[in-house]
Amino acid sequence: MTKKNIGYPYTYGDQLTPEMACNNRKQAVSYSVLISNIWWHNLGFGEPIQSYPSFSNEPKTVIVRIVETSRVNSINRGGDLGKSGPGPRAKADALKNARKTGGGSIFVQGFTPQRQYGSRPINNKPLSCPNNVKINQEQFYGNQNPGGSSSSMETMSKRLSQEYTEYQQKFNSPPVSKRFDTKNYDQEKFKELSKDPRANKEVFHKTTVDEARAALQSEMEGIVDNPQRIEKPICKSVDLDFKVDGPAPYTHMDVKHPVGSEILRKQNRKVDIKTMAYDMGERIVDQKEKFCELEQGPKSSENILHIVDLAYVPSSEKEIVKEYCLKGAEDAGSSEGIQFLNDNK
């Protein structure tokens, strides 16, 4: 029989028998498990798991030699007394090989341990996310419906216009009167009606937001049908707030917002509510006549509805404002085509 040369623990020239081959395999498995368990222990993951029993015919000197080697490898490297384990070059080589091979081997993972400080290992658990965490989609896709699905008209108004918000804080805080408000409305339409139609870019003024609220409220209460902003360049000549689809005879609508005595005082206006309301009635009649028969304008004064929104007039002054507004219109020609909103006491 041909002899095969084998290495340690046998001498050269020994014949490889089945018993010797089996012993070699057992030793290889034993060394692999022992080395992995030693690394596992050094990494601070607790006691090593003995998956295989030790073999009685293994040389004891080999085990001692492996343990001693592990102790040598645990000597602090680089002068850092707080670190233990493999040196930086071994870590770098292992990490490089892991990227090439996928890093699935426990021996490769063993060269990239968590840091351990002093003699007390720190078991840093991986970050985790509970399964029941709710993600706010608006953080990723933006809020495509400003104000949210449950926003009231007042909340939407403040979000659209900083000018509107500042007016409320400065002149109408607390609110002088109860105003129509709801969450059941078309928010996209409200946003569209709130834009300044004369501006070259998207702008939301306090006045245009107030006009939009009055227009939607009028539609919801059945006073007008389908209010729409007058597009450019027509809106620059026909200076009315909206065009409407009826009811007949109305084709256009304009909105006015008188205020009460308290707001007049805060605005330092040297006029009382009676004079303010009377002058407004006169201007309404003048406006009805001014834009008739212009291109794409109303055909007659009867086609224009004026909405007088009393949202900024306190309950104690609403009747006074209504009386003097109608009186001013009568004296100027006619009080027809005037409707009041938020005139509750």
Q: Following DSSP, what letter does each residue of 32-93 receive, concatenated? A: HHHHHHHHHHHTTS-SPP--SPPPTTS-HHHHHHHHHHHHHHTS--TT-TT--SS-HHHHHH
Mean pLDDT calculated for residue range 275-301: 93
Q: What is the pLDDT of residues 134-190, one digit of tens each?
A: 444 333 334 445 444 479 999 999 999 999 999 999 999 999 999 999 999 999 999
Angstrom distances, CA of residue 258 to CA of 88, 287, 320: 79, 16, 11
Query: What is the per-residue pLDDT for 38?
Result: 77
DSSP state of 120: B
Confidence of residue 16 (pLDDT cuts 50, 70, 90): low
Predicted structure pTM score: 0.59
Indicate the SS3 state at residue 235: helix
| Residues paired with 243 in a beta bridge | 228, 252
pLDDT score, position 66: 40
CA atoms within 13 A on the CB side of 272: 5
Please tell me the distance from the alpha carbon of residue 76 to that of residue 2, in angstroms, as a whole number. Answer: 50
Q: pLDDT tens-digit profile of 334-344? A: 999 999 999 98
What are the domain boundaries of the chain?
A: 152-341
Range 3-13 average pLDDT = 51
Asked if residue 248 lies in contact with residue 298, where contact means CB atoms within 8 angstroms, the answer is no
DSSP calls for 176-203: SS-----S-S-HHHHHHHHS-TTSSS--
Task: Kindly calculate the radius of gyration of the chain based on its CA atoms and give it in whole angstroms.
Answer: 43
pLDDT digits (tens, 9 = 90+) for 183-218: 999 999 999 999 999 999 999 999 999 999 999 999
The predicted model gives 282-294 an average pLDDT of: 92
Q: Cβ neighbours of residue 62 under 8 Å, at least 6 residues apart?
A: 27, 31
* Residue 37 pLDDT level (bands cut at 50, 70, 90): confident
Look at residue 278 in the predicted model and tell me its pLDDT. Answer: 98
**45-104: per-residue pLDDT in tens?**
555 444 444 444 444 444 334 434 444 444 444 444 444 455 666 556 655 555 554 544
Tokens of 192: 């569209």
Q: What is the pLDDT of residue 176?
A: 96
What confidence score (pLDDT) does residue 265 get?
A: 97
Q: What is the mean pLDDT of residues 305-322?
A: 98
If phi > 0 it is left, if psi is from -120 to 50 it is alpha, else beta; for residue 85 that is: left
First-to-final CA distance of the chain:
119
